[in-house]
């Protein structure tokens, strides 16, 4: 068992590769439809959620809070689905959430820019000049997402277990190579790796539940024990800790909550 995380740019044929892998292995194939699931679970209008997640955050959004909320919702929804195994995911930087999970096999699909332009022209019905402009904009947005989420360049091959050039292979050939590699023992689920993804999913869900009420500075989990750091006021530590514990314990799998309230420090003007 494993989960296969496909990283792709726009018009890279990565979607076709992911769907073929899922068909060959009998896995579920997930993509940005995870946004719909997250929007329903956390009661966010789908259109607003999708629009926000399709754009890299601008300067004012980084200073604000909206983008952080949506990221936490998406992360929670995705990690909860990945707990099941037997999944192929292709979408918005999802592999960055499971970099330390040993049974998550990450693959970057790359394509020559000329072929991407041709594919874009055909699928979008645009001119060559327009296709180049569209791809450049989309690539920049995805790079910004990688930087925003984890401070990485998503085109860096060191982030992935495999980088595969679809120019020299058919979709079937690329899928066959990925399926064969995913079958190696090192990518099979172990008790430790299963616990790791369970912990990550719990951390993400606690963060998503708290973020509108008492935004956490840090959340960590292990085997149902959740440690939460939040920033408090001068005299409300007990009340804040009570709110954190009450909300966290509404989540299935939380056995114990340990809350650390950090002192609020007034910034110098």
> In this structure, are strands 216-222 and 225-231 parallel, antiparallel, or unpaired?
antiparallel
d(CA 32, CA 43): 17
CA dihedral 237, 240, 245, 247 (to 10 degrees): 180
What is the predicted pLDDT for the residue at 172? 95
Is the pLDDT reported for residue 267 higher than 70? no
- The architecture in CATH of the region 3-187 reads 3-Layer(aba) Sandwich (3.40)
- The architecture in CATH of the region 213-262 reads 2-Layer Sandwich (3.30)
- The percent of residues in the chain predicted with pLDDT above 90, rounded, is 42
Phi, psi for residue 189 in degrees, rounded to 5:
-70, 135
Give the tens place of pLDDT for each residue, 230-247: 987 655 677 888 989 999
- pTM: predicted TM-score of the whole model, two decimal places: 0.84
Is the pLDDT reported for residue 83 higher than 70? yes
Q: How many CB atoms lie within 10 A of CB 60?
A: 9
What is the predicted pLDDT for the residue at 197? 96
Give the tens place of pLDDT for each residue, 176-221: 999 999 999 999 999 999 999 999 999 999 999 999 888 899 999 9
The residues spanned by each domain of the chain are 3-187, 213-262
Averaged pLDDT for residues 159-182: 93
Averaged pLDDT for residues 133-154: 79
């Amino acid at each position: 068992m494993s989960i296969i995380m496909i990283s792709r740019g726009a018009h890279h044929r990565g979607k076709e590769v992911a769907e073929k892998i899922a068909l060959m292995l009998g896995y579920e194939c997930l993509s940005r439809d995870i946004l719909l699931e997250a929007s329903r679970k956390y009661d966010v209008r789908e259109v607003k959620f999708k629009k926000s997640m399709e754009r890299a955050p601008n300067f004012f959004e980084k200073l604000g809070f909206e983008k952080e909320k949506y990221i936490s919702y998406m992360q929670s929804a995705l990690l909860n689905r990945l707990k099941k195994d037997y999944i192929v995911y292709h979408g918005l930087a999802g592999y960055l959430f499971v970099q330390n999970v040993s049974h998550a096999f990450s693959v970057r699909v790359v394509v020559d820019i000329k072929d991407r332009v041709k594919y874009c022209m055909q699928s979008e019905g645009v001119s060559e000049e327009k296709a180049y402009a569209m791809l450049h904009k989309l690539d920049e947005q995805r790079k910004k997402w990688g930087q925003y989420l984890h401070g990485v360049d998503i085109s860096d091959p060191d982030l992935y277990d495999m980088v595969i050039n679809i120019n020299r292979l058919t979709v079937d050939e690329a899928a066959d190579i990925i399926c064969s590699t995913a079958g190696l023992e090192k990518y099979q689920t172990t008790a430790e790796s299963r616990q790791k993804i369970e912990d990550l999913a719990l951390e993400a869900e606690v963060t998503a539940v708290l973020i509108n009420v008492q935004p956490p500075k840090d959340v960590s989990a292990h085997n149902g024990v959740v440690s939460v750091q939040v920033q408090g006021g001068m005299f409300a530590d007990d009340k804040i800790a009570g709110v954190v514990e009450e909300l966290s314990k509404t989540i299935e799998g939380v056995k114990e909550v340990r809350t650390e309230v950090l002192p609020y420090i007034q910034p110098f003007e």
